[in-house]
Amino acid sequence: MRTYHKILLFLRRQPRYVNWLIKVVIALFFGILLWYDVFQRENFQDIKRLFLAELKGDNTFWLYSCCALMPLNWAAETVKWGHLVRRVQPIGFWQAFRAVFAGVTTSLFLPNRVGDFGGRILFLKSKNAVKVVLSTFVGSWAQQLILITFGFLGFAYFLLTLWKVEAFILDGIIALGLGFVIILLFMFLNLEIVVPVFKKIRLLYRFPKLIKSVNVLRQYTREELLQTLLWAFIRYVIYTIQYFLILRFFGIEVGILRGASCIATIYLLQTSIPLPPIVGLLARGEVALKIWGMFSENELSILAATFTLWVINLIVPALIGLVFILQLNVLKSLGYEKKLSENETKKSSESN
């Protein structure tokens, strides 16, 4: 307890310096991991040379079009998340947009974008943090549902046309995927049945705020949840188009139907890999090599396309999100300044 009081005393006396220290640590941590996991990767120089060579060619239109779709991709995510979080706290588009980008920054090193929660709660009231996490969970669930649905469809078409598996195997995969999607969809559209399940997990009773806040899931109407799925689908379509465009930039041409099935399969397999985006890039590159290797023998172009799309859709937004985080008063966003002022008021009243 003494250590705790010493920390509170230091924060009370020097909140400005502590706030800047936190920002410096976040920036350094981000920069070091980015340097070692991106610029120091084994084939980075080869990818860089290929990218610069293609940049001097006639395919730059595809690259610029892909880049232009990036803000639309995250704008769709902003609308999707914004209408969910408004059940918790009123929020404008620009504030939600900044929160989403900050979430990209904090999610870059955590499995399956779990860190989205950490960045987004900084832009809302600290007392609503748990409810914001639950709202973000609903949006993530919708996105995963879309990925899994189209992933199974694409995987089935992929197996039928390219691998030509036995009919009974294909039927089994389709039945399994369809059953899984129906269960997930039913649970998503009936979130009220999820609440009792949460409340039966004894481990969660160590977090009373979470148990109390989980009732926010009951507030979402069927119409709101269907709208969330619609925006998740729009994001999926935009990202699929981006993938096509970046493949064309690197000279990999594939038909629309086969290409869409391959992209859906890649998304499905990537979703099943519980690795942070920055650490799992190698594994995702291997998946892309297996799929696109059927259409191109140029492995470097395939890896370059995967890497470039990853940079456009994750690294660039993460850097923008870092700028937004650095503009914040982190202590105030986390509620510590309010807690400190309350302690000061309490102590002064006791002394009087």
pLDDT tens for 219-242 read 888 999 999 999 999 999 999 999
pLDDT at residue 64 is higher than 90: yes
Residue 251's region, left for phi above 0, alpha for psi from -120 to 50, else beta, is left
pLDDT tens, 327-346? 887 777 666 655 545 554 45
Task: Supply the pLDDT for residue 71.
Answer: 95
Radius of gyration of the chain (CA): 23
Indicate the burial class of 43 (C-beta count within 10 angstroms; 0-12, 13-18, 19 or more): middle
For residue 101, count other CB atoms closer than 10 A to its CB: 26
pLDDT tens, 266-296? 888 777 665 555 555 555 667 777 778 777 7
Give me the residue label for tokens 């914004």: 82
Give me the residue label for tokens 């950490």: 118
Tokens of 277: 């985006």
Q: SS3 for 1?
A: coil
Q: What is the DSSP letter of 36?
A: I
